[in-house]
Amino acid sequence: MHGKERAMGRPFRHALGVELVLPSNLNTDSLGTFSGETARPADAASTCRNKAEAGMAITGLPLGLASEGSFGPHPAVPLVAVGHEWMTFVDGAQGLAITEQLLCWRTNFSHCLLAPGEDPAAWLQRVGFPTHAVIVRPNGLGAAVAKGLQFLDQLTAAVQWAAAHSNDGSVLLETDMRAHLNPTRMASLRRLAFRLARRIRSRCPACSAPGWGWMDRISGLPCRWCGAPTPLTQFELHGCAACGHRQHHPRRDGMVTADPGQCPDCNP
């Protein structure tokens, strides 16, 4: 519905030689969406799988692909907004679902409460309007909303309408995160599609199934002074989507001890 094939088509054609086919009349909103609050990865991954399988049922194709995103404050750095994107590839014949994810530090996700008569120009510039669309709603009124605004005259009219329908004359502006209205998000989806295609090409060292790759990080990098485990990543956990095989890999940056400043014993 949101033109994501523009970002996902080329990576899959180049890396795997497959063409994307869009299912007609598939409204994925009924499968649940993750706009707004950050969702738990397991939920997002299963929503992706449901979406992909719904597309496979309509097209009758044996392979499916879908993506899902959520936006919100970073779990460890609440003042910084991040995007979290998931993408799942399903091979129906092998019963295989391969998911890859991306934490996007580059996002325009933001909102702004506009007081009566206040000029939104600075906020609009910061979120990349008009190449990035925005949403306008009257403050305190849940359902009424003007979405996908990409033109200044459109936006001005929507702000006037929202101010007239708001509790206190103020207006809530939000970034529209739908992919076709948000080039920053579209670029993240392209990166994630390349990452997923690469993962599909990686075989499990134990069972040779496609989809081997990063699954999680394991904290506990030892302190350089006292050796106590710190919250920093010690290993990357790589795994297989088919057989449950797992491997510990050292950190990519080669770091084997943590700065004592990160140690709960040396620097409590």
Specify the residue, 21 or 228, whose C-beta has the smaller distance to Zn ion.
Answer: 228
**Taking the complex as a whole, how short is the minimal distance between the CB of residue 156 and Zn ion, in angstroms?**
57
Distance of CA 28 to the CA centre of its chain: 16
In the complex, minimum distance from the CB of residue 204 to Zn ion, in angstroms, rounded to a whole number: 3
The residue among 74 and 245 lying less far from Zn ion, judged by its C-beta, is 245
Q: How far is the CB of 118 from Zn ion (least distance, A)?
A: 50
Preceding amide of 130 cis, omega within 30: yes
Contact 266, 223 (CB under 8 A): yes
- Which single residue is written with the structure tokens 């943590």? 258
Between 148 and 244, CB nearer to Zn ion: 244
Distances (CA, A) of 45 to 26, 38, 67, 159, 222: 19, 13, 9, 36, 32
| Closer of 45 and 242 to Zn ion (Cβ) | 242
* Residues at the interface with Zn ion (CB under 5 A): 204, 206-207, 209, 223, 225-226, 228, 240, 242-243, 245, 263, 265-266
SS3 (DSSP) at 181: helix
Measure CA 109 to chain center: 11
Nearest partner of 35 among 166, 135, 167, 119, judged by Cα: 135
Q: Is the peptide bond before 231 cis (omega within 30 degrees of 0)?
A: no
State which residue, 99 or 107, has the beta carbon closest to Zn ion: 99
The residue (of 59 and 262) whose beta carbon lies closer to Zn ion is 262
User: Torsion angle of alpha carbons 114, 119, 124, 126, nearest 10°?
Assistant: -90
Closest residue by Cα to residue 173 from 104, 223, 125 = 125
| Closest CB to Zn ion among residues 22, 207 | 207
Compute the least distance from the CB of residue 224 to Zn ion, in Å: 7
Token pair in block for residue 205: 């060292």
- CA-based angle 67:72:77, to the nearest 5? 125
Question: At closest approach, how far in Å is the CB of 67 from Zn ion?
Answer: 24
Q: How far apart are CA 268 and CA 263, in angstroms?
A: 7
CB of 10 to Zn ion, least distance (A): 28
Q: Closest separation between CB of residue 229 and Zn ion, Å?
A: 9
